[in-house]
């Protein structure tokens, strides 16, 4: 097969591993920078050009679209879908997962356990918004934050009000969330491919830190999931419409709660922690599913 990885940087661990795994299975692997693709949108024959030439004969794409290029990146994926090319994760599912509020609403509607979460636009009734999620301590998150930046634990009502005021002053979008204290600064990353959790790890924040992000000094190791955690992760990925997803779960007293579903999960942390060939499993999934016009949406939004 001829497989295109949509990635801005061929040197990234995840991109390198996907190329390696595909090549080892006898596929022709291309790394294509989505920002360098340009497209013609015509009723009859949609096409994609890259570095002066039309991209043809591609059997499937693996999108690795960073959060900062979601808008253009998903347009490129959608164009491939219009051409009948199979994408491991479809453009609609990627867009859906990038919108945190929309994701939480979709998951809630299907009964997935979530931390109680509030959001508001108006600057009025901050006190009531805080009460709605159970009062302090609570977590306040910037919607466009990644790697734990912009995630704040407000220990008291006063602190929560000050942080909310500050975020509002910056005209930033944010949400407020029940603090799952019993998670003890840990979260679980479940790597879902198709309808299975193929690997999972627990990330623990460094001493005194409630955020478990590796970028914030956290550590990762293999963890055994309960059947409930396993089925929650698989259902969350399915609800989002993702074939490949990183589902982040907190262990709450009342069971697993989903924090986030990531459509381009990094492979380095999970492969190193579990010593599993996740890139190979993504290629296997591609081999099983990629057929011309197999994309369900054909680019429909
Ligand atoms: P990012 O997407 O920037 O990594 P997250 O929402 O995943 O932000 O939050 C970063 C970390 O903070 C999580 O991995 C988790 O350890 C911790 N955390 C986030 N939300 C909560 C919460 N509601 N209760 C307890 N811990 C939380």
C-alpha of residue 63 to centroid of ligand 1, in Å: 25
CB of 183 sitting under 6 A from ligand 1: yes
> Does 127 have pLDDT greater than 90?
no
Higher pLDDT, 127 or 87: 87
> Does 300 have pLDDT greater than 70?
no
Higher pLDDT, 119 or 294: 119
Rounded to two decimals, the pTM is 0.94
Higher pLDDT, 295 or 89: 89
Helix (H, G, I), strand (E, B) or coil at 61: strand
Residue-wise pLDDT for 180-199, tens only, equals 999 999 999 999 999 999 99
Kindly write down the DSSP assignment for every residue of 140-171, as one continuous string.
EEETT--TTTTEEEE-SHHHHHHHHHHHHHTT
> Does 43 have pLDDT greater than 90?
no
> Does 215 have pLDDT greater than 70?
yes
> Does 298 have pLDDT greater than 70?
no
Backbone angles phi, psi at 225, to 5 degrees: -90, 150
CB of 81 sitting under 6 A from ligand 1: no
How much is the pLDDT for 143?
85
How much is the pLDDT for 148?
74
2-95 has CATH 3.40.50.1820 classification: no
How much is the pLDDT for 181?
94
What percent of the chain is predicted at pLDDT more than 90?
A: 78
CB of 134 sitting under 6 A from ligand 1: no
How much is the pLDDT for 296?
72
Higher pLDDT, 74 or 216: 74
Which residue from 250, 254, 258 has its CB within 8 A of the most atoms of ligand 1, so it is best to mutate? 250
* Whole-number Cα distances in Å, 190 to 8, 68, 247, 257, 278: 25, 23, 5, 12, 12
What is the pLDDT averaged over residues 29-35? 97
Taking phi over 0 as left and psi of -120 to 50 as alpha, with beta for the rest, 84 belongs to left
C-alpha of residue 231 to centroid of ligand 1, in Å: 21
182-283 folds as: D-amino Acid Aminotransferase; Chain A, domain 1 (3.30.470)
How much is the pLDDT for 122?
73
What is the pLDDT averaged over residues 278-282? 98
How much is the pLDDT for 10?
96
Nearest to 285 by CA among 194, 183, 218, 221: 194
- Where is 285: in which H helix or E strand? helix 278-289
How much is the pLDDT for 124?
76
C-alpha of residue 185 to centroid of ligand 1, in Å: 9
Pick the CATH number of 117-179 from 3.30.1490.20, 3.20.20.70, 3.10.310.30, 3.30.530.20: 3.30.1490.20
Place 149 in a pLDDT band, splitting at 50, 70 and 90: confident
Least confident of 4-8, 97-101, 256-260, 291-295: 291-295
| All structural domains of the chain with their residue ranges | 2-95, 117-179, 182-283
What is the pLDDT averaged over residues 77-84? 94
Contact 191, 200 (CB under 8 A): yes
Residue-wise pLDDT for 243-258, tens only, equals 999 999 999 999 999 9
Higher pLDDT, 144 or 213: 213
What percent of the chain is predicted at pLDDT more than 70?
A: 98
Residue nearest to atom 17 of ligand 1 (CA): 211
How much is the pLDDT for 291?
83
């Amino acid at each position: 097969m001829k497989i295109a990885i949509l990635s801005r940087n061929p040197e990234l661990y995840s991109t390198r591993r996907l190329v390696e795994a595909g090549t080892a299975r006898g596929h022709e692997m291309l790394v294509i920078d989505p920002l360098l693709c340009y497209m013609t949108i015509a009723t009859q024959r949609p096409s994609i050009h890259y570095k002066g030439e039309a991209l043809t004969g591609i059997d499937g794409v693996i999108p690795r679209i960073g959060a900062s290029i979601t808008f253009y990146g998903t347009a490129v994926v959608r164009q491939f879908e219009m051409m009948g090319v199979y994408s491991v994760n479809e453009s609609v599912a990627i867009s859906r997962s990038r919108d945190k509020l929309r994701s939480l609403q979709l998951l809630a509607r299907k009964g997935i356990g979530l931390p109680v979460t509030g959001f508001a636009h108006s600057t009025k009734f901050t006190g009531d918004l805080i009460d709605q999620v159970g009062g302090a301590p609570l977590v306040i998150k910037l919607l466009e934050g990644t790697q734990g930046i912009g995630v704040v634990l407000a220990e008291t009502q006063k602190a929560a009000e000050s942080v909310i005021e500050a975020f509002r002053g910056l005209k930033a979008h944010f949400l407020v969330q029940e603090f799952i204290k019993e998670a003890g600064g840990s979260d679980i990353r479940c790597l879902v491919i198709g309808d299975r959790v193929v690997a999972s790890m627990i990330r623990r924040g460094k001493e005194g830190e409630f955020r478990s992000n590796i970028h914030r000094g956290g550590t990762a190791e293999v963890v055994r999931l309960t059947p409930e955690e396993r089925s929650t992760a698989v259902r969350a990925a399915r609800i989002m419409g993702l074939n490949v997803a990183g589902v982040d779960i907190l262990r709450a007293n009342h069971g697993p709660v989903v924090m986030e579903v990531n459509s381009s999960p990094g492979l380095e942390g999970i492969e190193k922690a579990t010593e599993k060939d996740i890139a190979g499993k993504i290629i296997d999934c591609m081999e099983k599913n990629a057929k011309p016009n197999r994309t369900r949406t054909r680019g429909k939004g």
